[in-house]
Structure 1
């Protein structure tokens, strides 16, 4: 059976076999017919109570803009809403080693009013345009054992050829988190525990020396739940073999968190992360270990390192953008024997279009360049319609801008800079050296301008230029492209006088990289 085909779909649920509970029985019973002897984990999502947009805002707001959050969750939100509209109330992922490294099977129990055919189209991409709308598509769907199954032909054949088996660990794990809208249940089989022990006799890293059996035999099952009532909470419940095993697992948890805190303690930017580690509640009651973290605190735990990683990636992309602009400037110079002017003008000297427009042909955007009316200003009815089509190379990924078509990539404007206005400057005129002269600056969001507008950063002519608003996209400073094609990070603490030296093309100043 090929991808996107629906197999054995019916519009009504098949009655449960004798001895099985009805499809609307407790959730553990609803997925039990699809759990095998080697099933390792089950993810359950309560579609009827899940507020995916609200959870996403709480979890991601610390390291994503509202726009990025919407973009990140939009496809998933529409996918969940489509399942709800089709009558789905619960969604399961059943993780069995036999299905890996591919997708685990998905199970949607049938309830009154549910449309099995519509659910199958959503899960297996049978509808027109479904692949673009939904984040995941399984190759085969079928309705049996009171639910819509989605997975591979091999998984379908495996399930049809075996009887359900009892897995008490999953039943107990389902009861632990209560009514959390999202829960991940883990209950390794005896064979899986033995394989782990053979492959990894002792725990690595900070837990070195502790036998892995402390986990493989000490833990019966674990349940990680994301709760939203009465307070947003992330809860990990671990059922141990007995109370001594629970105490040993508690020690491992504290040692692991302590190691992470020690590793990050020397980094000032991770101080908040380290404090949040201390706020995680760890408690043992009998043979049950629980770790509890406030949802916002949990988001901060994830957010601190992710913010650093995301900013590093964004800063690297910003550097790449500026390098492309610098290369385009030099290619322009090679063809026209000068760098582009800061803006073009009409016969009366009135500014028309920015240098950014005139670089398009050197940024693989010839088609867009050809659409501009070069004899009209940037905000003429025709040219204004092209503002929304700003190429990505003019967009700093760290700039949080409210409108499309705005850019923070500006050139310094002034009589002694490479971009004095409508006049053109050549390489030979940069007597201070191309490695000492700024080409392009990634200004702060307050200085952003429509990319076609003949507007940039006015450097002025004083000894100390006004640096207000120049920083803001990157912590601690900003990226600047130099006339030799390099990109360097200029610190916020840079002396304004040094800035002036970097802006002039023929000032004759002497300075070194330590100055900025």
Structure 2
């Protein structure tokens, strides 16, 4: 998961920071023609393109070969591992298209001790059409913060804060082979990041990092001892559809390398199945970990299982809150929520969920709703943007929910008469369904009053739709995990009706 977040961060830095608008000194933004040194992008045959911008305090350099990134499978992997539905794919594709038009080469990021204060790394982009690329980026991403400055030439451009640019212009380049040599390694993968730990930095981190990890973690590691023996960390990786990640830790001496190898082996053992396919090997003072497609496949499966457990836990909590809200609503209104709000002509306007918003700590939001207008009317646009806590699901379209009110002959929600009361529920409340976890295909916007009609002849199929189990809210306020194997159509009909004597 940490690896994927790292990959995603690299992409987002590219998307969110590269856009420095051209020539608008009035608003504080500045685009200058000409390099900070004699040559902006040096002859690759002579030296590395970013060697002119490496300072004594530089600790991190990263190289991103954007032309090797297949956006769709990368974001698909991110979604599978994180559960988030990425919305950035079209923007990233537009950005890559603009970079292709401008014949852009690789993108480099440089960071050091000053970067936290700068709030962004220095960015170097190889391109013979820097001005064109800047204009295209501004068109795609809009205006950027006034703090971002761009310098362009016919060989490339650099982006950074005014202070970063000033440092680059005023300081002479320094030779940092430990940083740059890995970027010339023929065996590196498509994208590479190098982090060095000079002696002063190691001593500083050793003094401030804890001796032991926080309690509760299944690891016996000392962060301060760990950093004391690290000379350099190299991360090189390839993105999907054929992902591969290689992490190399260069130790200061053989004893430190032994310690790292043992600690990484302990981490693998502690996390068991999730890291079993990560390879670990030793080459002199270097410890190498490698994760390929099999690790990511396993990660997808484990992440999916973890998300489903979290989703089910959240669903149970939400159903319990709704059960309590129903009883509070009944105490106040002397009846249970209606299936939907309707206008004078009987046209449905809002779902039952809107009625209990005040009882879910959403009174202010409830008061902002025009109940006399449909939920999707322009005057109720806030309903499309706002989702009551616990009702939505990141795997569904925005604001959609699987918490539905099953409409079945004789159920709480059947018929167009006045809302029913608790006294109308004469069947055993501990066996009477009020709400159910619908199949994802029946998910709906939480405020949409469209009814969820359940077949009278085959309610099992409508409710389960191929699933082995679902959660239901019962009339006594409890939540039950109902297994398909435990019910048939007759049993389910009895649970859906409220006063059938069954």
Give the structure-1-normalised TM-score: 0.69
Corresponding residue to 1:227 among 222, 238, 245: 238
Give the secondary-structure state (helix, strand or coil) at the position aligned to 1:43: strand
CA contact (8 A) 1:242 1:286 kept: no
Distance 2:234 2:465 in 1: 42
Corresponding residue to 2:151 among 143, 149, 156: 143
Q: Deviations over 1:375-416 (max 9, x none)?
A: xxxxxxx9xxx9x97985697526657xx9986443233444
Distance 1:28 1:128 in 2: 33
251-260 or 233-242, which moves further after superposition? Answer: 233-242
412-421 or 315-324, which moves further after superposition? Answer: 315-324
Corresponding residue to 1:165 among 160, 174, 184: 174
> 1:377 aligns to what?
none
Corresponding residue to 2:130 among 86, 93, 115: 115
CA contact (8 A) 1:343 1:422 kept: no
Task: Assess, with a 3 A threshold, how the Cα gap between structure 1 residues 194 and 448 changes in structure 2: closer, same or farther.
Answer: closer
RMSD (Å) for aligned C-alpha atoms:
4.8
Distance 1:153 1:46 in 2: 26
CA contact (8 A) 2:27 2:146 kept: yes
How many angstroms does 1:225 deviate by?
A: 1.5
CA contact (8 A) 2:425 2:498 kept: yes
Give the secondary-structure state (helix, strand or coil) at the position aligned to 1:467: helix
Corresponding residue to 1:420 among 410, 414, 418: 414
The answer to whether the aligner puts 1:505 opposite 2:498 as a matched pair is yes
The answer to whether the aligner puts 1:240 opposite 2:251 as a matched pair is yes
Task: Assess, with a 3 A threshold, how the Cα gap between structure 1 residues 15 and 504 changes in structure 2: closer, same or farther.
Answer: closer
The answer to whether the aligner puts 1:478 opposite 2:470 as a matched pair is yes
Corresponding residue to 2:142 among 110, 115, 130: 130
Task: Assess, with a 3 A threshold, how the Cα gap between structure 1 residues 315 and 421 changes in structure 2: closer, same or farther.
Answer: farther
CA contact (8 A) 2:81 2:303 kept: no
| Structure 1 unaligned blocks of 5 or more | 262-273, 374-381, 510-516
Distance 1:282 1:27 in 2: 35
Corresponding residue to 1:258 among 269, 282, 297: 269
Give the structure-2-normalised TM-score: 0.71
The answer to whether the aligner puts 1:32 opposite 2:24 as a matched pair is no
How many angstroms does 1:170 deviate by?
A: 0.8
Distance 2:400 2:41 in 1: 57
> 2:113 aligns to what?
97
How many angstroms does 1:188 deviate by?
A: 1.5
Give the secondary-structure state (helix, strand or coil) at the position aligned to 1:470: helix
Task: Assess, with a 3 A threshold, how the Cα gap between structure 1 residues 102 and 447 changes in structure 2: closer, same or farther.
Answer: same
Give the secondary-structure state (helix, strand or coil) at the position aligned to 2:157: strand
Question: 1:291-310 to 2 correspondence within 5 Å?
Answer: 291-298=289-296, 300-301=298-299, 304-305=302-303, 308-309=306-307
The answer to whether the aligner puts 1:191 opposite 2:200 as a matched pair is yes
CA contact (8 A) 1:413 1:459 kept: no
| Structure 2 unaligned blocks of 5 or more | 1-23, 358-365
Question: 1:44-443 to 2 correspondence within 5 Å?
Answer: 44-61=63-80, 64=83, 68-69=85-86, 71=87, 73-100=89-116, 103-112=119-128, 114-116=129-131, 118-119=133-134, 122=137, 130=142, 139-143=147-151, 147-176=156-185, 178=187, 180-200=189-209, 202=211, 204=213, 208=220, 212-213=224-225, 215-217=227-229, 219-227=230-238, 231-242=242-253, 245-261=256-272, 274=273, 276-298=274-296, 300-301=298-299, 304-305=302-303, 308-309=306-307, 312=310, 316=314, 320=318, 323=321, 327=325, 339-341=337-339, 356-357=350-351, 360=354, 364=366, 366-367=369-370, 370-371=373-374, 392=387, 396-397=392-393, 408-424=402-418, 425-431=420-426, 437-443=432-438
Give the secondary-structure state (helix, strand or coil) at the position aligned to 1:100: helix
Distance 2:264 2:212 in 1: 13
How many residue pairs get aligned? The number is 456
Q: Deviations over 1:189-214 (max 9, x none)?
A: 22111112223474646664768455
How many angstroms does 1:224 deviate by?
A: 1.0
Give the secondary-structure state (helix, strand or coil) at the position aligned to 1:304: helix
Give the secondary-structure state (helix, strand or coil) at the position aligned to 2:197: coil
How many angstroms does 1:109 deviate by?
A: 3.1
Task: Assess, with a 3 A threshold, how the Cα gap between structure 1 residues 319 and 38 changes in structure 2: closer, same or farther.
Answer: same
